[in-house]
Amino acid sequence: MELGIGMFGDVHIDPKTGKMQSAAQRTQEIIEEIKLMDEVGVDFFGMGEHHRIDYAVSSPEIILAAAATVTKNIKLGSAVSVISSADPVKLFQDFSTVDLLSNGRAEIMAGRGSFIESFPLFGYDLKDYAELFEEKLALLLRLNKQDTVTWSGKFRKPLINQEIFPRPVHGSLPIWVAVGGTTSSVIRAGKLGLPVMFAIIGGAIENFKPLFEMYQQAWEDNGHPMDNFQVGVHMHAFFGENGQEVADQYYPLYAAQMNRIGASRGWPPYQRSQYDFGRSIHGHLVVGDVNQSVENILHVIEMFGLTRFSAHMDVGSPNHNEMMKAIELYGTQIIPKVKEALK
């Protein structure tokens, strides 16, 4: 069982003035935060890819390369790399380089992404959304298995006996697929025998149970050994010493970010009742003190048979000092208690 942290690189926006933190300051803070994660025993870190003013990170691999030089044990991956609008060859080379810098700790998490800004930015048409993902994921998997590749597809020039360098430390990289609630994505990952990270970022967690069952069924039906079965969840989280205090302090930041995103998606204004339900044992938020968080994490692990839990901790960008305190609590108290209980 692995317990880690994911981030999207949200920049802090002053709730009173609307002033936005600089990307330079936020990226430097992120490196400090990853360094602390490594020191307190967090198992893995995932960095998101976004192309918006309210996120500081457009290239996870660059942040991860920097983090590789100040960490020793923590796994370093994307969360996610938007494979649909990326060049799989360059993506593989970049993460192979991170793998070399970190002595074999790099991972790729491929996904469609939760925003669409990268498509026009890199010259892709949204009408090809599904085809792009399928083709580019297939190419990435081929690159990961073969040193020399011959390949052709619809969206890039062919590769003919092309050698791909550098190679990762162990010859290949762990590649995960991130999914939301799309049935076809879940079944595809099961058929391919790829580990899946489910993003549970709203509603009751019980509603996701059929998707987990569908994934495992596809895995087994396609002959993949259960010894290799890996599945995780990504849930919004934040931690403090006093559960009610941290919940009350975090709510304005979280609600503001939900409303910023929701404004472009037609969502109604975010309500405190949604937040309070989200913090319950049935909800999608792990926001509270050590004991509350341990209880919620154990509940979701046991419900879905997880091998990995990712706490997405920078939604709305709490300030750096609060992030450092939350990371320390997670690594020194929550993770050990969860692992001890699972024994």
Question: At 146, which amino acid appears?
Answer: Q
In the block, tokens 């990268």 appear at 118
Cβ atoms of 159 and 71 within 8 Å: the answer is: no
Quote the CA–CA distance of 55 and 57 in Å, as a whole number.
6
Position 149 confidence tier, pLDDT thresholds 50, 70, 90: very high
| pLDDT reported for residue 15 | 83
**Domains within the chain, CATH numbers bracketed:** 2-342 (3.20.20.30)
3-state secondary structure (DSSP) of residue 271: coil
Cβ atoms of 49 and 60 within 8 Å: the answer is: yes
Strands (E), the chain: 2-7, 44-47, 75-78, 81-82, 106-111, 148-151, 159-163, 175-179, 196-199, 231-239, 285-288, 308-312
- The CA distances from residue 99 to 67, 85, 90, 154, 230, in Å, are 11, 22, 14, 29, 21
pTM listed for this prediction: 0.97
Is 318 buried (19+), middle (13-18) or exposed (0-12) by CB count in 10 A? buried
- The CA distances from residue 333 to 40, 76, 236, 242, 330, in Å, are 9, 22, 18, 14, 6
Going by the DSSP 8-state scheme, the letter that residue 222 receives in this structure is: T
| pLDDT reported for residue 35 | 98
Cβ atoms of 143 and 89 within 8 Å: the answer is: yes
Q: Which residues contact 29 (CB under 8 A, 6 or more apart)?
A: 320, 323
State the average pLDDT over residues 7-26.
94
Q: Which residues contact 147 (CB under 8 A, 6 or more apart)?
A: 163, 164, 167
* Listed residue (170, 4, 26) closest to 73, CA to CA: 4
Position 181 confidence tier, pLDDT thresholds 50, 70, 90: confident
Q: What would the pLDDT profile of 233-272 be if each residue is shown by its tens digit?
A: 999 999 999 999 999 999 999 999 999 999 888 999 999 9
State the average pLDDT over residues 13-28.
94
Residue 82 pLDDT > 90, yes or no?
yes
Cβ atoms of 324 and 33 within 8 Å: the answer is: yes
Pairing between strand 148-151 and 159-163?
Answer: antiparallel
DSSP string, 13-75: B-TTT-PBPPHHHHHHHHHHHHHHHHHHT--EEEE----STTBS-S-HHHHHHHHHTT-SS-E
Residue 204 pLDDT > 90, yes or no?
yes
Going by the DSSP 8-state scheme, the letter that residue 272 receives in this structure is: H
Residue 114 pLDDT > 90, yes or no?
no
Instruction: Name the average pLDDT for the chain.
Output: 96
Q: What would the pLDDT profile of 324-334 be if each residue is shown by its tens digit?
A: 999 999 999 99
3-state secondary structure (DSSP) of residue 282: coil
* Planar angle of CA 66, 67, 72, nearest 5 degrees: 130
Residue 16 pLDDT > 90, yes or no?
no
Structure tokens of 285? 């938020």
Residue 113 pLDDT > 90, yes or no?
no
Structure tokens of 297? 């994490």
* Listed residue (86, 71, 66) closest to 9, CA to CA: 66
Preceding peptide of 166 cis, ω within 30°: yes
Query: 132 or 18: whose pLDDT is higher?
Result: 132
**pLDDT above 70 as % of the chain:** 100
